Amino acid sequence: NLMKNEIKFNFLNEEKVLCLPINWHSTEFSHLWRFNLHYFDWGRELIEGCILRNKFNTKDISLLNYIIDNWIDKNIPGHGDGWHSYTISLRIRNWILIFRTCPYLVKKKYLDSLWSQICWLKNNKEIYLGGNHLLENIITLVIGSSQFESKKAKIIYHNSLNDLEKELKIQVL
């Protein structure tokens, strides 16, 4: 919901009205609330709503475009909540759904950021936590790397499939 230069988000039963451009690092919000903002689940939900209504609102798509640009510009690689491995895992999958559903929205800048996030995640999996966080990381690497055709993407894809098989054996047993 865009009202003037504001956008409304509701996570964890807490509604907040944020000014645009978004302050992604505001200490006004809880750590978990900020994580939810960085996940971009809300962007995926916006796209899913458009699909259900069979109507893509230009205003919503423009806003989503603006916010993705803003996220890339305001989140330095490797720093802050946006670069936490779990946050990246969810955002990568949400961005892929958004980009696949709305290919006209995609810019080279977005694909470069997506690839940077995949490469960062590859080197920063939550191995120390194991369990669902590590599974999220690995599944995202499989999905994310399959979106690219480079030699490095293929290596990440195959290594992540192997890691997934090993981790699933541990999780199931």
How far is C-alpha 169 from the chain's CA centre? 27
Number of neighbours of residue 26 by Cβ within 10 angstroms = 13
- Residue for token digits 């798509």? 61
Q: What is the pTM of this model?
A: 0.93
Per-residue pLDDT tens, the chain, 173 aa: give them: 444 688 999 999 999 999 999 999 999 999 999 999 999 999 999 999 999 999 888 888 899 999 999 999 999 999 999 999 999 999 999 999 999 999 999 999 999 999 999 999 999 999 876 788 999 999 999 999 999 999 999 999 999 999 999 999 888 76
Cβ-contact 28, 35 below 8 angstroms: no
Instruction: Look at residues 147, 144, 149 and name the one whose alpha carbon lies nearest to residue 125.
Output: 144
Token pair recorded at residue 126: 């939550």
Structure tokens at 48: 């899913």
Q: Could you tell me which of 38, 42, 125, 135 has the C-alpha nearest to residue 81?
A: 38
Largest CA distance in the chain: 53
